[in-house]
Amino acid sequence: MDFSERREPLPVTDGIRSLSERGSIGREWWSRRFVDVLESFADRNRLHRGRAYARKGQVIDLKVRPYEVRARVQGSRPEPYEVAIGIDAIGEETWRVVEAELASRAVFRARLLAGELPPEIEWVFAELGVPLFPASAHDLHLMCDCPDYGDPCKHAAAVLYLLAEAFDRDPFLLLAWKGRSRDLLLQGLRRLPAEGAPDPFDVGDEPLTAAGFWTAGPGLAALRDRPPAAPAPPDLLLRLLDPPAVKVRRRPLIDMLGPAYEAMPQA
C-alpha cells in the first residue's frame, strides 16, 4: 500500500501537463510500445496515480540525457521530489555495430534520415542484444527521494508517462536516452554506406562458373511466404544524399523539396 502523500499535491503553475486527458498515453508506435511494456510489469495503482499527476501538470521539468532522465515532481510537501530514471549504458563498439546494421538497409537509413523510426528497428536492436525498450523492471533504475517504497512510485510513473509523450514529439529522444544523439547517429548513417557497405559487384576470389545456372529458383509459394518489405519513402534518394549547403528563405533545400517528392506518387 502507498502510505505517502494522502493529501492532494500542491498545484504547479507552469508544470508539464500531459496532452492526453483520458485513456492511453502515447500516439506513435514507439511511444505506445514504451507505455505498453511499462504497464506490463509496473504496479497498476501507482501507474494510475502517475497518470493523474502527469495530467495535472505536477512535473515541473524533465531533462533527457544519455542513459538518464531527471525531473522534479511536485507532491504535497513544499519542496518538489527529485526523480532520476536510469538505464544500462551501451558501449561505443556496440553502437558502431548498430549503426552499421542500420546503414546496411537502405529503407532503414532513409526513414531515419527522414526523422522516422521504422517498426522493424526494434528487431535490429533485439538481434544485437541491446533491446530498444525495457523488458522488465530490472532494466529501469528508478530513484525518487519520496517516502514511497513503490517501484515505480507515482512521481516516477508521472515522469515515465511524460517521457513517452516526449518520444511522440521527437523519436530521436528515445535513441538519445539510449546514448546516441540524432546528429551522431545521422552522421554515422551517412558515412557508413560509402565506407563500409559491401560492393554488390565484388565476387571475391571465387571464379565465375555456369554451375547452378539452370537450377530452378524458389517457387511462387516461397515468394508469397516472404514478409513484405517496408515501403520506401518517396524522398528516399533525397534523404540518402548528403544535404546540400543551399538554403531557400533560410530553410534547408531538402526541407523545401520534401513535399514535392511526397506529392509525385499521388500525381
Does position 219 have pLDDT exceeding 60, yes or no? no
Residue 72 is predicted with a pLDDT of: 97
Residue 136 is predicted with a pLDDT of: 85
> Of all residues in the chain, what percent carry a pLDDT higher than 90?
49
Answer positive or negative: Cα dihedral of 66, 72, 73, 75.
positive
pLDDT band for 221, please (50, 70, 90 cuts).
Answer: low
Side-chain half-sphere exposure of 189, counting CA atoms within 13 A: 26
For residue 87, the surrounding DSSP H or E stretch is none
Around Cβ 245, how many Cβ atoms within 10 Å? 7
Domain-wise residue ranges, the chain: 29-188, 233-266
pLDDT band for 211, please (50, 70, 90 cuts).
Answer: low
pTM: 0.71
Rounded to the nearest 10°, the torsion over CA 90, 25, 114, 224 is: 90
pLDDT digits (tens, 9 = 90+) for 149-198: 878 999 999 999 999 999 999 999 999 999 999 999 988 888 875 444 44
Does position 199 have pLDDT exceeding 50, yes or no? no
